[in-house]
Every structure is written in structure tokens, then in C-alpha cells.
A and B are shown apart, each in its own frame.
Chain A
């Protein structure tokens, strides 16, 4: 009986997410100039999940929201592979409780965050938080770029590592999964016009604030994610939620 209780409490503890962390207001210089007239973005404070959403947390969500269960999701909200690795509607693949949830479409990620009274972070918020994280972790540009290219070289090896859902500081920004953001579909602009060279074989130099390793790595994240559809689900794409500061 005691044994059971302790197991139960562990499960409950694992599912209770830590409080989101506050990302303080500040200025941020995007690595990629999406609009050539804007070099510095002023960011208000906001809150962001410390870790990507885990399978256990997502299970809780689908248990309460049947229409987002694997067999019940509307066809227009996914590409056919939504939660494909789950044995059942409310059954996780074995051993996946503490991994970042993947095989979720942008629609599903938004619905999850909405249910937590949150939302997906904007691209600016996510990148601003990433800068904040790199400073906190004291990671050099070179280390950051290497981390990102290493993940892109073998994404499955990273997505299969556990995350600590109770962590109290910002974590796992670059070494678990790629993450959905609200405005993930890039609209590269040139003043008022869409950029003609966006898309295939685009030279990225026109968009770079500087030409260091870190900026190229960041640009690669922008670009590859922007080619997904909102229905796309993959085994290496997850998300975390953002929240406005209380007024």
C-alpha cells in the first residue's frame, strides 16, 4: 500500500508542471532581420514554460479534451501522424512520460496552450528567451551553434532524452526538440515587399545581422521550421507555452 502511494505521488509530481519562468523586459537584436528596417526589437516581459511540454502533461490535456485525442482529432488539424506512436487515445508509448511531446501539429500545440490559459510564444519571444537562456548558461556562440547543428545532425538522439518538468529555470531550449512558435511561417520582407529570393537556394546573407556561427545556426532553425505546414507532425518537433504577465 505504501509502495503504491509513493508511486502514485511520484506520478502526480511528474505531471504537475513547474511555474513558468519570467522573461524580463528588454531589447533584443534578432540574428535574422525579418524586416530590414527593424534592427532592435523592444520586448515586454512575459512568462514562458521552463521546459517543453512532456508526454505526461499532454496526456492530461487529451484526457480532459477528447477531441484532441489521437483517434478523435479533426482531419484538418493534422497530417495523419498525430500522436502516431501512442498505443491508445489515453495511453502513452512506454517510457515516454518525461520526454518532450512530439507528433503534435501547430493546431494541437495552440489548443494545448489555450487550455493552460496560455498561448504559443511568438518567434520574437522564443528567440529573445533563447538569448536570455544562452546568457544564463554562459554558452558561447560557437557552443550554441555546435549544439544546434549537432541536434540537426541527429535529432532523434536529442528528442528521446528526458526533460525535468519540475525544473525552475529556463531549460532545454536547444537540446531536445525543435519547438513550434505562433508565427512560425516566415514572411521575409524587403520593405513592403515579400522577398523574391526567399524559398529555394535563398542566400541568407541579406537577412543576417552578423555573420557568426550563432546567427547561421539561428537562421537555419527559422528556415527549416518555416517549411512545415500547420498540420505537420514529426518525432522531433514539440513546443512550450507562453503567458502574458498579469496586468
Chain B
């Protein structure tokens, strides 16, 4: 059976060049980068070279790059640390209802500390309105966090304008760019952000490594204590192999971005059209334009997402769903619900995220396989039956 991996938004395989660079570190450069002896110095050198590569990839200065254990950790240092460090200036924070839980849960924690948070709504395509954002600003707003690209529906947010407004009003602006680095241009100066988070394993690098970009002169507080590493913002012995792996991954991703994103956009559109045209009662979640090149999110109405996923897996292709049943909760994806989808539509969502290994033959295969899967599940769905008979669905 053909095996097709279409869950690149969840994680990506480590590419060979990354693995080779990491193996070199594991085998040859095992010293602690904080040690000043002949074993530590090469590790420090490799780490600082990696910092330069990462900085170059997002148009930052190497001194503005902090290595973390994950994108989540980078989000947390930016948001929780940033808000705490600037509490004297104000108590109000702004984010959106469709952020990744790494961001949303950080804001929930800050609310418990007494901060007030405005959660901006989104439109039917998952995009916030700049006007809503401007209206939410207050004199005591100290920090704004708005994701660059949505991990579920691929919507690209208008963050350049938001960043410019924040800069003008001296409000800290953080963006979670975990889904966008290596897919679309990410330039911290053009975005006008003070913080930016990215992650290694979304760009064919290793898991367990993230980056916090922190603009020079910006204040935040550490969440952990115990060492002077990473300017005391992320203490703990640096994971040199992962850092080096991430730097190779980001360098290659940015170098190949234009060509690869163009290729994926074509495949993405073919997959979207193939599903919508082949299977009745389907809809695209998220926008047609202004969408990440690797993201497809569709709802196949009147069937449930986890059953859909299991069926896809049995046919050899891996995807993900915003169905409640995959998360163990009763509510489907907060992103899909915030976009105004009904429970029926949200429960039947399927995210297919493309990547380097995705070929046109893979797309043809998935389009071909999805129709009988949908037919089979609908044949046993009482909701499909109600729809066909024109009965109300509750």
C-alpha cells in the first residue's frame, strides 16, 4: 500500500543534511559550550555559528537569538516573561481566539495573575481585523501576540500592520511564526516584532529545539532559573546538536523556500479542488488566498473526523483533524468554532499538510481514496441520512 505523510504541520522528518550535522556534534563535539577548555570551545563555536545562521534567516542580529527547548517555550518566555517584566507600564494584553494553545494557555495563566486579556475574534476565514485590533488597544496595553500563520487552517494574519502600530505606540509585539518560517518570508524588521517564536521540527530539523527572537533593548523575564546560558533567559546546558541541526534546517528551508512553496501551492490547490469537486457536501476551511502553501483543511460534512482519520490511515495516508474525538474533549477545534463553523462541519474536518516528500502522485492517490472513505462512513451515518431526507440536524 502507498504510504503518504500529509501531517507536516504537526511535524516533519529530519532531513539528511541536518542529521549529518547533528551526528558530527554527537560524535566529535561533545564538550559543554560553557566550558572554556579545548573540548568546550568547538561546541561554543558551532553554537555561535548556528546563531548567526538563524539570525540571517529571519533578518535579525545574532545577539537577538535565544535558543529554547521548543516553540512553546519561546512563546511562553515572550508572553509570560514579557508581560511580567512590563507590568508596571500596564495591565492589558491582546491576542486572538485562534492562537495555538502554547499562546492561549500562556494568556490564561497571566489572567490568573491579574492581567486583563482581549481575545480578538476572527472572520469566517480565520483572519482578524486590523480595525478590531486597533479598537482593542488601550492606554495600558503592554503586549500583543498574534500568530503569523494559523496551524489548523493556514490563514496568514496581517501582522505587518499590527507590528507597525505596536511599534508606534511602544507596545510589545510577539508573533508565533512556528508555521510560517521556511514557508513564507519572515523578516523580523518588516514585521516590526519585538518577539518571534519558531521551532526546529516544523522545518525538517530536530524536535526539542526552538528559537525566541528578542529585539535588542526589549525586556522580558526568564521562566526558569539556574544558569547564565542564553543571557539567563533560558538557563540549562545548551542542546548543541539540536541547535546546529536547527540552524542547518532553517538555512536550507529559507534557501529553498521560493521554489518549494511555489511547488506546494500548486499541489495544495490541486488537492483542494480534487476533494471539493469529487465529494459532495465538502467545504474548504480557511481562505483560498492568503493561505499557507502547505495547508489544506476541508470539512467532509456528516461524518466525524476521527473516523475519517482512521480510515485514511488504513489507506496509508496520515493526516489530522479538528474533531473533538482526536483531542479527547467534547468540543471540536477552537479555531474552527471561532470561524463560525457548526459542530457538524467542525467535527468532519480534515487537515492535510504537505511537505518536501509530497508528490503529485500522492495528491492523486489521496483524492482517489477519499471518496470511497467518505461514502463508506456516510452510509453508516444517521446524520447523512437526515441530510438526504431533508430532516433537521441537531
Q: Do they bind each other?
A: no
